[in-house]
Chains A and B, each alone.
Chain A
């Protein structure tokens, strides 16, 4: 699962080998990340052990509480921007009291989980990758393995559980803030009264929207942890390798969040 023997390839000789390698290597990486995820899933029953429980709660705390400030700001401003843009357009038709629906729908269905995912990828994901990468290059992971302490159980599983529990909550929280932010803009800039705004916001949204949004956030959270741990465990060559692992974690997480987000939406709403 953790591949320690480094792989070496001769430099590509022609465009065909280059193309082949550019296709095969990401697939291989993805496959290994999935194996890591399965190994962590298999270790899931251990989460009720005393130490794992403590570690999971601690991880939930660091992931949730420490990213709360930036998430609050981003969520509120997302709602405010949504309200402002749709409000300006709708005002041309005298429909500005309908911004409630627009803000609520975009937040709950897309922007809430999406913003949560991006922020956690940039903060928590990069932190996990840096930590795992440092442990890898300092042989701490190797030491764990010699002690027969499975890193998938000891390191990945608590983070996975913590993230899977925290992301739906954080996503829910960012939806609330976004809607409130939209309400503030509606009240101050567009002259939509509070009561009208919130009545309108609750008009079309259904539990299913909330459920799909939170499911999406959960999927994002799981992906971020798996990508970060996999990249960290693949770190080689000291500090440079840790830097690379961190950078790639953020990039790959962003891309996967966009991609998977689209397909989940398609699956549930099309």
Chain B
């Protein structure tokens, strides 16, 4: 369970989050939506303490991660896998080496085991033929999928996805959605997904939460979310041509 308690984060005069309370339950997929620049990535980074809240605190399974440091922080981060918005692959390693990196650096697995595991994860994201390629030679969407393979290679308990499907074609997007769903079903992974893609939000989310103007304006199950009376949510839905009863339900979108 991840909890943000009264978290405030500001950059200079720019107050991004203002006394935000947010809870991610064990084993659920929480989807965070909101306009660009509203603090979704910041929220994810607060959860792994890549950023520190100015006020309030962040806890993971009861442990106050926003106050940890050094070795204890490293141990707390072992639970996490994270997909960054740009993929964040190391440019001087091939795709396969990137995915293998956490295994090589931190485990005593044999080379054969590592390669097998890496191939398995690359297959999950549809990159089985790109083991030897350099990150610079991949498209943005492929980089993101490679980043995803690296995020899940250690079988983490909690996975944070920063826009896993943006820049991907619809088919790959659904592949990623299926992956997020199957990780959750098979391994009871807790996921937090930041996305602009409402179709994927509705398909994978147990709950959807919307951030706007530094505050959480709505948290609800997908069915409730599209019924929301909140003007910001309505505008967000309308912008993606989802008006009240879901077009997505008939599958005609």
Contact = CB atoms under 8 A, between A and B. Distances in A.
Interface of A: 4-6, 8, 51, 134-135, 138-140, 142-150, 154
Contacts of B154: 147
Contacts of A5: 51-52
Contact of A4 (B12, B50, B84, B105): B50
A169 B69 CA distance: 38
A139 B51 contact: no
B48 A146 contact: yes
Interface string B35-65: 0000000000100101110000000000000
Interface in B75-113: 75, 77-78, 80-82, 84-86, 88-91, 101-102, 104-106
A8 B12 contact: yes
A260 to B, nearest CB: 30
A243 B106 CA distance: 33
B50 A146 contact: yes
A2 to B, nearest CB: 10
Contact of A149 (B51, B101, B147): B101
B86 A142 contact: no
B52 A149 contact: no
A51 B150 CA distance: 19
Given A6-B11, A51-B105, A139-B85, A148 B90 contact: no
Contact of B102 (A138, A147, A150): A147
Contact of A139 (B84, B104, B150): B84
Contact of B88 (A8, A51, A140, A149): A140
A8 B104 contact: no
Contacts of A142: 45, 50, 84, 88
Given A5-B51, A146-B82, A147-B105, 18 more contacts: A8-B13, A51-B105, A139-B84, A139-B85, A139-B86, A140-B88, A142-B50, A143-B84, A143-B90, A143-B147, A146-B50, A146-B80, A146-B81, A147-B150, A148-B75, A148-B78, A148-B106, A149-B105
A145 B50 contact: yes
B105 to A, nearest CB: 5
Contacts, number: 61
B50 A51 contact: no
A158 to B, nearest CB: 12
Given A51-B104, A146-B50, A140 B89 contact: yes
A143 B88 contact: yes
20 contacts: A5-B52, A8-B12, A135-B90, A135-B91, A138-B88, A139-B84, A139-B85, A139-B88, A140-B88, A142-B84, A142-B88, A143-B90, A146-B48, A147-B101, A147-B102, A148-B78, A149-B101, A149-B102, A149-B105, A150-B74
Contact of A148 (B13, B77, B85): B77
A140 B91 CA distance: 9
A142 B45 CA distance: 9
Q: Which of A51, A144, A148 has the most CB of B within 10 A?
A: A148
B237 to A, nearest CB: 30
Nearest to A142: B50
A148 B52 CA distance: 17
Q: Which 6 A-B pairs have the closest CB atoms?
A: A8-B12, A143-B88, A148-B74, A139-B88, A146-B82, A147-B102
Q: Which of B48, B75, B90, B147 has the most CB of A within 10 A?
A: B90
Nearest to B104: A51
A81 B202 CA distance: 75
Contacts of A150: 74
Nearest to B80: A146
Contacts of B84: 139, 142-143
A130 to B, nearest CB: 12
B70 to A, nearest CB: 9
Contacts of A8: 11-13
Contact of B106 (A4, A135, A145, A149): A149
Nearest to B75: A148
A138 B88 CA distance: 6
A23 to B, nearest CB: 22
A134 B75 CA distance: 27
B118 to A, nearest CB: 14
A154 B93 CA distance: 13
Nearest to B81: A146
